[in-house]
Each structure stands twice: as C-alpha cells, then as structure tokens.
Amino acid sequence: MRRIPPGVSAPTSSPAPPADQPIAPAETRNLLTLALHLIVFRIGWTFKQESIIMAVFLDAIAGQDWVRGLLPTLSRLGQNIPPIWWARPLKEMDRKKRSLALFTVLVAVPFLLLAGLWAALGGQSRPWLPPVFLALYFGFSVLYGLQQLSLGTVQGKLIRPTRRGRLLWVAQLLGLPPVVALMAWLMPQWLAEPQTGFGRIFFFAGVSFVVSGLLAQGLWEQPGRTAEEAAEARRIVGGLRAGLAETWHVLCRDGNLRLLIAVAFLLSSVLVLAPHYQALARVRFQLAQVQMARLAPGWLVIQTISVSLFSLAIGFLADRRGNRLTLRLLILGAAVAPVLAVVVAHLPGGLGPRLYWTVYIPQGLSPLLLLLLNNYTLEICPPEDHPRYLSTLTMCLLVPFLSSPLAGKLITLTSFEAVFVIAAASMLASAVLTFWLKEPRHERCPAHAPPDFVRAGCSSPPAHG
C-alpha cells in the first residue's frame, strides 16, 4: 500500500488510473453494463424496500416501535464493519468485477431462504420468527455492504469521475419504467394477500439479485496487476486488525475526510427514520391491513419515481457543478420529508391519508444521499485508496445508526412528531457543514494525472459551488 509521508496531506483530487491501466477503451460498454446491472438490482431492491415493505412485514410479525427501529441498525452494522476487512483484499484483486458479481449473487440468499421459510409456515407468524427474520436481514446487510464496496471500487476503476453522474442518469432513466410497471402490476395483489404475498415478494427480490450479479460478469476490466504481484499480495493481506489500522491512518491524515464523516453523521438521522414513515401514517390515520395494502404500493411507486427523477437532475448537476454542491442541495431537500410528514399527519378533514403520498416525494432523495457521499469520497483520494476511503466512510456511519432502536423507543416514549423534527434539525446542521468541505474539482490536477483524465474534466474551469 502506498504510504503518505507524515505531514503531507492526502491528494484532494482523484486521478484516473495510471496510463498503463486505461479506462477509456471499453468505458462506454462498461457504463451501459453497469447501468443494466444497477437497473436489475434496483428492481429487486424495490421489492424489499426497507422503509415500506420490510417495515410492513416486521410490523405484521412483531409490531413494536423499537423492533422496527432495529432495521436501520442491523442494516448499518452489516454494511459497515465487514467492508473494513474486505477493502484490503479487494484492493489487491486483479479483477474487481469478480467481487461485485459474487456478492451481488450472494445478496439473494437471505431472501430466497426467507421466501422458503414463509411458505413452509403457511404465511403465519411464530414467536421465533421476528429474531430469525432479523438475523437473515442482518446477513443480507453484510453481503450488501460488501457488494456496495465492490460496486464503488469497480465504478472508480472503470468510469471517469466526470461520467459517474451519467451512469446514475442512464440507470435511473432506463430503469424507471420496468420498476414502476412491475410494482403496479404485482405489489398490490401480493400485499393484499400477505399469507402468500410476502413469500412471492422475497422470492422475486432474490431472483432479481441473482440476475444482476450475472450481468456484472460482462464488464470489461484490465487486470490491475500481474498474476505474480497479485499472488504475493494475497499472501501478505492482513485481516480485520490491519484494516482497522489503515482506517485509522486514513482518518488521521485527511482532515477533509473527517469533516465529510461529520456531515454523514448528521444527515444519517433522516435515514434512521426510514421505516417509521409508514408507521406514522398507520397510527395517526388508524389504517387497517386492507387499507395499508391499498396505500403502501402507491407510496412505493411515488418514492421510486421520485428517486429516478431526482437522480436525473442530480447526475447532471454533479457532473457539471461538482458533488459538494449537489450533496448540499440533496441534504436540504431530504430534510423536507420529516417536516412534511408531521404536517400532513395533522391535516383536518380526512386530507391526511389522501395526501400522505406527497411525503414520499422528498423522501425519494434519502436513498441518494449515500450514493452522493460515495461519489464525493471517490473524488478526494487516488484510485488505489478508493476501497479504504469507502470502507472508512461506511464504518464511521455505523455510530449514528446504532441509535435507531433508541429512535423507535423515543417515538414510543414521546411521539413521532418530536423525533421527526429533531431529525430535520440535524439535517440542516449537516447542510451547513458542507460549506467547509473541499471541492476536488477546484484543485489543480496533480502532475502525474494522465492526459485523458486532464481532458476529461480536471483542467476545465472550476465550477463555483
């Protein structure tokens, strides 16, 4: 691993791979292949969406606010700790697409098991089912964290910084019609018949993940090192202890990364609330199961469309004005969701249930926050440090998500409204901190940056954000 001498700060821009590892020859092919991979993965992801589908299922088999609050905690525990261990082996792999394909397929396993278990139980809950479900969901989160680290690293290796927004744009634009069509066709009938419907939802999600993983094998990737170097690297790779040491080294040397983590810490408050939006509607509007089955698919469709349309604008803005400004605007927009949820929940005359779908418009910005954080992280370090920086960010995000069960308990002790307003205030503080983040595209290109990277954007006039 390349070491930075004491007293020398980390590079503030992310050059493309060295000239002997070009990304240009097959970049368009890789961009389209990654877009198709993301589209199919997103279909599966939508059918297991945490803030609505998983929360509705967990409420059906358990019901307590603090148990629902475990979903974000288990999700972050699984996603944040294992990448610390895997970042170093991934860095030394000659073909990183293999890691992406493997973990994308493995992500399907917990949901295929859950589909089989629900079918075996005849669609009836048992006292032991909530902990088993949470264990399977934690297993999914572990695999998903490794898949996302692999995806970010593959993207950083194969797609130039100025085209990553285009990847997001293409994936969202082409993915929206099939996702919405499948949800509108399948989700209402499956949620209306939970005894069989939940099993079908889980099975469909699992199959989608398998297909997405197989698509990742179609990426063109030049080996990052010779076979002899890769073999030697595998012999010297350490485990979790070495990964933690490298994470600490990264945090000590890069003040901008530390500030980014503070931003991420504060904005995570709105992500912790994700499973509680549907519960707020169910409790305040006193919705029965049949009413939830009618309303929830509509909320999911609205959020999916919102994510896609916002992604188009965000990808365009990020490519042209930089990820720092885009992240700031995204945080401010996402902060609207908890405030709007509280307002709509108290509308008079039965307007609340009819207008609650509007909450999922700004809520559609929340899933994009981590993506923008990852894209910004890729720009503030050299390509060989992408795995370590990404794993450092995800590890540090673990701390606020550990408070998710506490947020659920606070909802029980106080109210939905109090917790939602606190989260909105935390988001505003996060947006303010982004003014002190560096904009990598304002920095001059390093001398070793290859010509194709210079032409791609780092020598262009700086965008003022």
Tens digits of per-residue pLDDT, 257-282? 999 999 998 998 888 898 999 999 99
pLDDT of 225: 52
pLDDT at position 447 over 70: no
Q: Evaluate the CA torsion angle 314, 261, 74, 111 in order and state its sign.
A: positive
Alpha-carbon gap, residue 206 to 267, rounded angstroms: 30
Best CA proximity match to 188, nearest among 299, 283, 282, 284: 299
Tens digits of per-residue pLDDT, 13-47? 334 444 334 455 677 888 889 999 999 999 999 99
**pLDDT class of 215 with cuts at 50, 70, 90:** very high
pLDDT of 6: 34
Whether residue 46 lies inside any domain: the answer is yes
**pLDDT class of 440 with cuts at 50, 70, 90:** confident
**pLDDT class of 345 with cuts at 50, 70, 90:** very high
Give the whole-number percent of the chain exceeding pLDDT 90: 39
Provide the 10 A C-beta neighbour count for residue 251: 15
Alpha-carbon gap, residue 279 to 345, rounded angstroms: 11
Best CA proximity match to 417, nearest among 332, 334, 330, 340: 340
Alpha-carbon gap, residue 161 to 453, rounded angstroms: 9
Name the residue type at position 302.
I
**pLDDT class of 220 with cuts at 50, 70, 90:** confident
pLDDT of 443: 64
Lowest mean pLDDT among 200-204, 229-233, 321-325: 229-233
Q: Which residue has the tokens 């419907």?
A: 197
Whether residue 2 lies inside any domain: the answer is no
Query: For residue 46, what is the domain's CATH number?
Result: 1.20.1250.20
**Can you give the pTM of this predicted structure?**
0.75
Quote the mean pLDDT of the chain: 82
Lowest mean pLDDT among 141-145, 218-222, 334-338: 218-222
pLDDT of 351: 93
**pLDDT class of 200 with cuts at 50, 70, 90:** very high
DSSP letter for 9, please.
Answer: P
Tens digits of per-residue pLDDT, 182-196? 988 999 889 888 889
Best CA proximity match to 87, nearest among 172, 1, 4: 1
pLDDT at position 232 over 50: no
pLDDT of 231: 43
User: Which residues form the domain of 362?
Assistant: 27-458
Tens digits of per-residue pLDDT, 98-149? 899 999 999 999 999 999 999 999 989 899 999 999 999 999 999 998 998 8
Number of domains in the chain: 1
Whether residue 43 lies inside any domain: the answer is yes
Decide: 51 and 274 in contact? Cβ < 8 Å: yes
**Burial class of residue 230 in the structure, from the number of CB atoms within 10 Å of its CB (0-12 exposed, 13-18 middle, 19+ buried):** middle
**pLDDT class of 230 with cuts at 50, 70, 90:** very low
Whether residue 215 lies inside any domain: the answer is yes
Lowest mean pLDDT among 32-41, 163-172, 406-415: 163-172
pLDDT of 135: 95
Whether residue 335 lies inside any domain: the answer is yes
Whether residue 1 lies inside any domain: the answer is no
Alpha-carbon gap, residue 268 to 422, rounded angstroms: 12
Whether residue 7 lies inside any domain: the answer is no
Whether residue 276 lies inside any domain: the answer is yes
- Give backbone dihedrals phi and psi of 381, rounded to 5 degrees, phi first: -145, 160
| Helix, strand, or coil (residue 340) | helix
Tens digits of per-residue pLDDT, 292-319? 888 888 999 999 899 888 877 887 888 8
pLDDT of 49: 85
pLDDT of 89: 82
Best CA proximity match to 408, nearest among 72, 68, 134: 68
Q: Which residue has the tokens 């990304």?
A: 23
pLDDT at position 226 over 50: no
Tens digits of per-residue pLDDT, 36-95? 999 999 999 999 888 889 998 998 898 788 888 899 889 888 877 777 778 778 877 878
